[in-house]
Amino acid sequence: MKSKSLAILLLLYSFSFSITAQQVFWASKVLEFSSENIVPFQPSANRANQILGKPNVLPQFVASGLAWQPAFKTLDSEEFIKVSFDTTLAIQQISIAKNFGEATIEKVIAFDSLMQSHVLFQEKDSLKTLEKGEMFNIILSEKTSFKVFAIGVFISKRKHNELIQLDAIGISTLENPVQANIHVAKDAPIKVIKENLGKGVNSRHQEFAPVISSDGNTLYFTRNYLSLFGKQKDQDVWLSKLNESKEWTKAKNIGVPINTKDKNAVFAISTDGTEMLLMNKYHKNGRLSSGISRSFKNGETWTFPEEVKIDNYYNQSQNAEFTLSADGNTMIMSIQRKNTVGKRDLYVSFKKSNSTWTEPKNLGNTINSIEHEMTPFIAADTKTLYFSTRGFPGFGDNDIFKSQRLDDTWTTWSEPENLGEAINTPYWDGYFTLPASGEFAYVCSYNGNNKEDIFKFTLPKKAQPEPVAIISGNVLSSTDKEAIACTIMMIPRNATLKSEQKKYEPANGNFKFILPLHEAVDFVPVARGYLGISETMDLTNVKSYREINKDLYLLPLEIGNKGILNSLTFQQGDAKLQASAMRDLDRIIQVMNEFPSLEILFEGHTDNQGDFQLNLKLSEDRVNAVKKYIISQGIAPNRITTKGWGQTRPLASNATEERRRLNRRVEFTITKK
């Protein structure tokens, strides 16, 4: 082999966490190894394949299951590992991420495409030995004359108690030392002021698992109540409300039936605040068992929790956490199963019916490591996932990371990004939660007294999830404005957005829907004995977070009651029915089938553009189109009467196109019940 002079640099990682685009190729396949440490009940920990890919532990200098650890069965045993790469190239640097241990890297050999060996590093007594953790860079004076296919690393120890863990092996053409960087989000805030929520929420006991309501006005959390001797006495669900001074009121125990003599905890709350997801299955005898339950708000109280049934659900861990998407149809959970990558992984499940869910599906290796992935939270945009782990490079113990959903499978995600040193501490961080506005974040962290508290901080706009809109209001009778219990249907104009429906109970307060921006949807209330009047919410030109209050109306099916079919708007001079209008007419047809004696008068109106007589004819054509469609669906013709008024009865001025559109309408009146 042609001799080469080597410049050897042993670089202790300096804590500058800038992210640089380093052209490093990390090992992709283990070809051969001497031994691997076996960790009981953790089949993936410290195995040889943990050395693959980029560093998962450095810059932290700690022992981890995310690195290869040889067994060192005897004092004089020489351990080795040989890895290959997806790319073969002439190299100038080998980078070995050593995250723990004092054993010595004795020799590094490169193998060309013919598997001929080339010694690139030989340990000498005069050289500085590795510390407990560092990036060991071998920088050559010039590129190799051959393309490197594989690298072999040989290790020895001088004492019985010496260990070593290698996190990654990389090759590159770089002349400057490779550093192991933390993958910090580009939009991570540089500085945040964490505000302890104070005595109203935090106490001398342990407060954790905060769940903030979508409007940001109610905080649910779990408290471990400790006795004077420090022994855990009780674990209950508590809540606090934001008062007019924007201060959290003194927390209240949520009481029975949510809280029992056993451990209780809240996982998630629905967008409208009427459904709560809880730890454990509740039994009528007062006992709890492993699983999850849900409880429904009933005025100021909550119903007895009922089991949430998930196909083939089991959890091999004693702990779990769950989060719900804004529409309530997707659940992400932190559990341990047979196909778990390491300890607890994140899984997704989809609602099949009102109380059953699909079998949990692993989110995949982009999200999950062999460490615990826990405390998941899905933001209101249903795209941004936050979770806590120490399975990726971080600033201490568990850090909070975020990832973006890339498609509708919910198993394709962007590479997790650390939320940065301003949010993550050297201690355990988790339970990140946001209201729909994304303006304030709530986290669980140590308060300096070795106890977890709940903190709040302002999240800069650039670091917030995609903005959404909260649509809220009441459902009222169109005649006396009294609130009416009903089902509300949200029907999107865009086929890519899924429909939703919610039950509205006046005693529980306003209904709430969270909608993505740049969409248009129709809201329709449905109740027997009433005809729902649809309302369109057009957010196509909205660019920032909005809270929109919009009451919906139900028309009682009584003779003389009158309403406007808001979806029956027409292009100027046109009598053609649009798809949204047909959906409204289908609901009228359904009501007419439920009440066979019901008869309706439809009246057509136009704006003032064009000839008077032509407008009169146009208004007649429009209501005749309505009648024709209803008759085509099996309703007797004598149950429908029509009248065209042309431009004679405007609702608004005709000064602008927007106002004229209001005048191009169809009204209906109940003439017989």
Q: Tell me: the pLDDT tens digits for 576-620?
A: 887 777 888 988 999 999 999 999 999 999 888 888 999 899 889
Q: Are 498 and 468 in contact (CB under 8 A)?
A: no
Give, rounded to a whole angstrom, the gap between the first and last alpha carbons of the chain: 100
Question: How many CB atoms lie under 10 A from the CB of residue 240?
Answer: 21
User: CA-to-CA distance for 389 and 366, rounded, in angstroms?
Assistant: 13
In this structure, the strands spanning 429-433 and 599-605 are unpaired
Tell me whether strands 218-226 and 232-241 are parallel, antiparallel or unpaired. antiparallel
What is the distance between the alpha carbons of residues 527 and 647, in angstroms, rounded to a whole number?
33
Residue type, 615: N
Give the chain's radius of gyration (CA, Å): 32
The whole-number pLDDT of residue 228 equals 55
Cβ proximity of 502 and 329 under 8 Å: no
Q: State mean pLDDT over 490-515.
A: 92
The string of pLDDT tens digits covering residues 307-340 is 999 999 999 999 999 999 999 999 999 999 998 8
CA distance 529 to 181: 64
pLDDT value of residue 3 = 35
- The single-letter code of the amino acid at 425 is T
Structure tokens given for 349: 């499940």
Nearest-10 Cα torsion for 58, 141, 81, 72: -70
Section 383-407 average pLDDT: 95
pLDDT band at 133 (very low <50, low <70, confident <90, very high): low
Residue 669 pLDDT greater than 90, yes or no: yes
H/E element holding 282? strand 275-282
Structure-block tokens of residue 439: 């303006």
Answer whether 360's CB lies under 8 Å from 376's CB. no
Q: H-helix or E-strand containing 593?
A: helix 579-594
CA distance 309 to 298: 22
pLDDT tens sequence across 25-67: 999 999 999 999 988 877 788 999 999 999 999 888 889 999 9
Phi and psi angles of residue 616, each rounded to the nearest 5 degrees, phi first = -60, -45
Contact 96, 27 (CB under 8 A): no
CB 330 within 8 A of CB 336: no
Taking the mean position of all CA atoms in its chain, how far away is CA 416?
Answer: 12
Q: What band does 131 get if pLDDT is binned at 50, 70 and 90?
A: low
CA separation (Å) from 403 to 215, 417, 434? 23, 6, 15
List pLDDT tens digits, range 519-551: 999 999 999 999 998 899 999 999 999 999 999
Q: pLDDT tens across 469-481, in order?
A: 999 999 999 999 9
| Pairing label, strands 468-473, 546-549 | parallel
pLDDT tens profile 410-462:
999 999 999 999 999 988 999 999 999 999 999 998 766 667 889 999 999 99
pLDDT tens-digit map of 283-311: 998 899 999 999 999 998 999 999 999 99
Q: Backbone phi, then psi, for 593, in 5-degree steps? A: -75, -35
Angle subtended at Cα 389 by Cα 383 and Cα 393, rounded to the nearest 5 degrees: 100
Q: Is the pTM of this model over 0.85?
A: yes
Residue 457, φ and ψ in degrees, nearest 5: -150, 155
Nearest to 563 by CA among 644, 422, 450, 668: 668
The answer to whether 40 and 177 are in contact (CB under 8 A) is no
pLDDT band at 9 (very low <50, low <70, confident <90, very high): very low
- DSSP assignment of 225-271 equals EE-TTS-EEEEEEEEEEB-TTS-BPPPEE--TTT--SS---EEEE-T
Q: Return the minimum-mean-pLDDT range out of 22-26, 534-538, 666-670.
A: 22-26
Over residues 475-498, the mean pLDDT reads 92
In this predicted structure, what is the pLDDT of residue 289?
93
| Structure tokens given for 416 | 């997790």
State how far the Cα of 85 lies from the Cα of 631, in Å rounded to an integer.
70
The predicted-structure confidence for 242-265, as pLDDT tens digits, reads as follows 999 889 999 999 999 999 989 999
Instruction: List residues bridging with 211 in a β-sheet.
Output: 220
Q: For residue 344, give the nearest of 387, 290, 404 by alpha carbon.
A: 387
pLDDT tier, 156 (very low <50, low <70, confident <90, very high otherwise): confident
Over residues 484-506, the mean pLDDT reads 91
Between residues 78 and 551, which one has the greater pLDDT? 551
Give CA–CA dist 209/212, Å, rounded. Answer: 10
* Mean pLDDT of all residues in 112-138: 78
Confidence of residue 663 (pLDDT cuts 50, 70, 90): confident
CB 534 within 8 A of CB 549: no
Across the chain, what does the average pLDDT equal? 89
**389-420: burial string, b at 16+ Cβ within 10 Å, e else:** bbbbbbbebbbbbbbbbeeeebbebeebbbbb
Distance of CA 377 to the CA centre of its chain: 5
3-state secondary structure string across 68-79: ECCCCCCCCCCE
Give all strands (DSSP E) within 392-485, no chain letters.
399-404, 417-418, 429-433, 440-446, 452-458, 468-473, 475-477
| Sign of CA pseudo-dihedral 556, 560, 561, 567 | positive
Q: Which of 136-145, 270-279, 505-514, 575-584 has the lowest mean pLDDT?
A: 575-584
On the question of pLDDT at 18 being above 50, the answer is no
Q: Are 375 and 433 in contact (CB under 8 A)?
A: no
Q: How many CB atoms lie within 10 A of CB 665?
A: 22
Closest CA to 504 of 481, 523, 525, 485: 485
Specify the higher pLDDT residue, 58 or 483: 483
pLDDT at 20: 41
Q: What is the pLDDT of residue 132?
A: 55
Is the pLDDT reported for residue 272 higher than 90?
A: yes
Give the single-character DSSP code of 503: E
